[in-house]
Structure 1
Amino acid sequence: MSSKFFIDNDDAVLRDAGLRVTKQRLAIMRVLFEAEDHPDAEQVLARARERDASVSQATTYRTLAVLAEKGVLQTHTFDGGMTRFEVSNRPHHDHLIDMDTGDVMEFVSDEIERLQRKIAAEHGYEIVAHRLELYCRKAG
């Protein structure tokens, strides 16, 4: 599953999050919404600097923190590693994490979703939200 996600108006997202619209923040937004992986803050910074060399570390970290606080971004700390980011308003998916490389792959399984609902129902619950992270190594 590709994590590439486009938004119609970067400016509105920044304003709604209470951030000033600057060319540096717009570069950060494009990196986040075009990411096909789950970049950490330093990766976001490096990619944003490829678009605009004036992007600072402070602006990157502040923008990431505010966007995560406002729910625009989801944060993941896979197996206690660095915090990684992905946009929030994407279709539900789960994660497969390669323990050797740190690569994060997204997947969707209707079978897993059905089983989770069944298990919750058997215990008298309805799932409101969940995250599934599978930590793996290549077989063989």
Structure 2
Amino acid sequence: MSAILYLTAYRFNRRLKLETHDLRNAGLKVTLPRVKILQILEKQVNERHLTAEKVYKILLSEDEEIGLATVYRVLTQFEAAGLVTRHHFEGGNSIFELATGDHHDHILCMKCGKVDEFTDEFIEARQKEIAKKLGYELTDHGLYLYGFCPQCRKS
């Protein structure tokens, strides 16, 4: 076995062990659909916010025979287990992203659907001030901004 092939097999095996460990830690049984969907979510570095339909299309492109209903069910199970966060952006589609534990807000393009993440300490502090002023104990929050991305504004 060549060194490159061995290294590739080693990395794949290591990643698979981490994924099965993540599923077990979340209290979920390790099944092929769960592993495949988790792999897709972890691989999407440039596009972290995916609809169930997008996950399904990626599975189809990889010749995986996992139905759309199963994708929805697995993503809902992942949400309940804390592995993913579901966002309900305008437009009606649920968008899923891996739960990383770091808080961030979102800005969305109303034309192409592009989603960008951002953090702003001033906004965070102001939200806490408003909650305190109104007598609320803030437990969670999310901020979604809507507009048109630079690419869509050009066209």
Normalised TM-score (structure 1): 0.80
Give 1 or 2: higher helix fraction: 2
5 Å-filtered alignment, 1:25-104, equals 25-35=34-44, 36-104=47-115
Identify if the C-alpha distance between structure 1 residues 67 and 90 changes in structure 2 by more than 3 Å, giving closer, same or farther. Answer: same
CA RMSD of aligned residues (A): 2.5
User: Structure 2 counterpart of 1:90, which letter?
Assistant: G
5 Å-filtered alignment, 1:2-21, equals 9-21=18-30
Bigger relative contact order (CA 8 A; separation at least 6): 1
Normalised TM-score (structure 2): 0.73
1:7: how far off? 10
1:20: how far off? 3.3
Query: Residue 146 of structure 2 aligns to a residue in which SS?
Result: strand
CA radius of gyration, larger in: 2
Structure 2: runs of 5+ lacking an equivalent: 1-14
Query: Residue 89 of structure 1 aligns to a residue in which SS?
Result: coil
Take 1:84 and 1:73, find their aligned partners in 2: how far apart are those partners? 10
Residue 125 of structure 2 is matched in structure 1 by 114
The total of aligned residue pairs comes to 135
Query: Residue 79 of structure 2 aligns to a residue in which SS?
Result: helix
